[in-house]
Amino acid sequence: MIENGILLIDKPAGWTSFDVVAKIRGARRAQFRSAGVTPTKRQLRVGHAGTLDPFATGLLVILLGEDTKKAEQFLKLNKTYEATIRLGQTSTTADPEGEIVAVSDRQPSSQELLTALESFIGTIQQRPPAHSAIKIDGQRAYKLARKGETVEIPLRTVTIHTLELLDYTYPNVKIRTHVSSGTYIRSLAVDIGEKLGTGGYCSRLRRTQIGEWSISEAVSVEATT
């Protein structure tokens, strides 16, 4: 039984990061009990180092035992994502889970798209989505947004190190991007849609790397139980 350590999980769509934590904690409790040991709270400590939205998939770093104290170290690391941006529509949550509204049927050219993407490379100002876990006056922004309250989240400075176009088949734009800590890909998708004048939201999102940790080293949730 590993009491301390790091697990790399490939989170499936539809699971919250807390769902993964709870599943692994439950499996660890069962493993201890099957060995005839009543686990302590310290032995059952499980946490994650950077959440993923429920609709997103990919790399989730799970910390066990004493290593849960290292979460802050992971939060500061650069990350790599692959995402699909759906042009021509917007979403109230900037992802597929919100209310979808048609905005435009104009189809930007490939050159327009490449020019727009290039304009976001470097250090930029970004406003995180209202439906996010950021705290506003001590409350999670998404909880306020779900109540219908107006949520004003301050701009933040982030860095888009690379932004690569993988495929463009209108209305879908597939990108790969390497970004600084604190960057919201949902916000990037919205901003790209606004830049093109078509509207847009992040329809798919997959995290493939956190610092030196890669999705190629990750296992499914089921493999840990």
Burial category of 127 from C-beta neighbours within 10 Å (exposed 0-12, middle 13-18, buried 19 and up): middle
Query: Which of 10, 53, 67, 191 is flagged as catalytic?
Result: 53
Partners of residue 205 on adjacent β-strands:
83
Burial category of 110 from C-beta neighbours within 10 Å (exposed 0-12, middle 13-18, buried 19 and up): exposed
Distance of CA 210 to the CA centre of its chain: 11
Residue found by looking up tokens 């490379």 in the block: 121
The answer to whether residue 53 is catalytic is yes
What's the CA angle centered on 54, arms 49 and 60, to 5 degrees?
25
172 contacts: CB under 8 Å, gap ≥ 6: 84, 85, 86, 87, 203
The residues annotated with a catalytic role in the active site are 53
